[in-house]
Amino acid sequence: EGEGEGAEGDAEAGSPGAEEEEDGVPSAADRRACDAEARPPRQPAVKLVQLERLPPVLTLHLKRFSAGGGRGAAKVSAKVPFPLELQPGPYCSAQAPPESLSDLGSPGGGGARYELSGVVEHQGSLSGGHYTAFVRAGSSWYHMSDSHVSEADEEAVLGAQASLLFYVQV
């Protein structure tokens, strides 16, 4: 090998990494190392969503579709349990935002209570299917599908693949 040739000579003789450094722009490896040093250590995080005022009818929309990680969207068909009665006090904001995690135990919303009055479910797949609904009238439940209405029991309601839940304040 002659003088100026070989690995050291090539790096000095105009390799892309050397040009970047000569232009005052750090190489990609230097940027990654700098980013890693500048980042604070990872800490646990809490996402907090609280209701400020409670509506007469509380509508909850359950996310039933997900991005498929490069494979397109996919329907989420996992069973999501939901109650016939809901007391949203722990999810309501107090007068001021919490200062720490221990403050999350002091809910607003008083003793508000809701009863389930309707459930919309999607039967089928992402590419096709059918929406039906369960609706409470008095103490009875009804299953509605297009022009067909039939009486339903609480077990059928609670077994639905809910997309929308409707709770009425009592």
Can you give the chain as a three-state secondary structure string? Answer: CCCCCCHHHHHHCCCHHHHHHHCCCCCHHHHHHHHHHHCCCCCCCCCCCCECCCCCEEEEECCCEEECCCCCEEECCCCCCCCCEECCHHHECCCCCCCCHHHHHCCCCCCCCEEEEEEEEEEEECCEEEEEEEEEECCEEEEEECCEEEEECHHHHHCCCEEEEEEEEC
**pLDDT confidence of residue 105:** 53
**pLDDT confidence of residue 108:** 58
Quick check: 19 pLDDT over 50? no
**pLDDT confidence of residue 9:** 45
**pLDDT average, residue stretch 8-28:** 55
Which stretch, 33-47, 73-87, 135-149, has highest mean pLDDT?
135-149
Q: What is the pTM of this model?
A: 0.64
Quick check: 147 pLDDT over 80? yes
Which stretch, 13-22, 71-80, 131-140, has highest mean pLDDT?
131-140
Bigger pLDDT: 42 vs 154 = 154
**pLDDT confidence of residue 6:** 46
Band (49; pLDDT cuts 50, 70, 90): confident
